[in-house]
Copies of this chain bind each other. A is one copy, B any other.
């Protein structure tokens, strides 16, 4: 699964790369000329003030191509217009890496990703689940760790080996182990696979 991030500027958000290290950046003007395989997700960023229609019209959504809109200021109107244009979802530009992975998970399985507020509107019900205020099931792990430990944890969760992490962060493999030991201790996990499940939200 390849990920392309399309923006007006060539620099990706740090969170995007954290979510998908292998992702590629594209300028909007480049997207036309490039032949993208169908097997991937295009993340199309909409800056503040932009509307979905005019910006997205430059993208030819070919058969099966999945598009997710990253909105600086998402609202229901923007989401619906994005969906009606053929996008598979819409989320916040500054969403955390875990959220982006979750969105990708849903989208690549043929699902649509819409915000809760919109769903509530659409359903028109007094769904309790929408009102229980469960906003923070993920208060957890990243808050318990130091900044460096979070970096290591995310890379591990993405499948990287200690050696790869060491190179990426330009530190010793030994230091990676030290951070990981601290992470395991703090989160009460026994190995990197458990950590991956925790970070990726697959807790069983």
Contact = CB atoms under 8 A, between A and B. Distances in A.
Interface of A: 1, 3, 19-23, 61, 63-64, 66-67, 80, 83-88, 99, 101-102, 105-106, 108-112, 114, 116, 119, 122-123, 125-130, 132-135, 137-138, 156, 158-159, 161, 191-194, 196-197, 200-204
- For the residues of A in contact with B, the DSSP-based class is loop
A120 to B, nearest CB: 9
A107 to B, nearest CB: 8
A106 B133 CA distance: 15
Nearest to A202: B200
18 contacts: A1-B203, A1-B204, A22-B204, A63-B132, A66-B129, A80-B125, A83-B127, A84-B126, A85-B128, A86-B128, A101-B202, A105-B201, A109-B201, A110-B135, A112-B119, A114-B119, A158-B204, A196-B196
A194 B159 contact: yes
A132 B64 contact: yes
Contacts of A126: 84
B109 A137 contact: yes
A127 B196 contact: no
A142 to B, nearest CB: 14
A114 B106 CA distance: 12
Nearest to A197: B159
A196 B203 CA distance: 12
Given A1-B204, A102-B105, A116-B110, A87 B129 contact: yes
Contacts of A196: 193, 196-197, 202
B105 A111 contact: no
A68 to B, nearest CB: 10
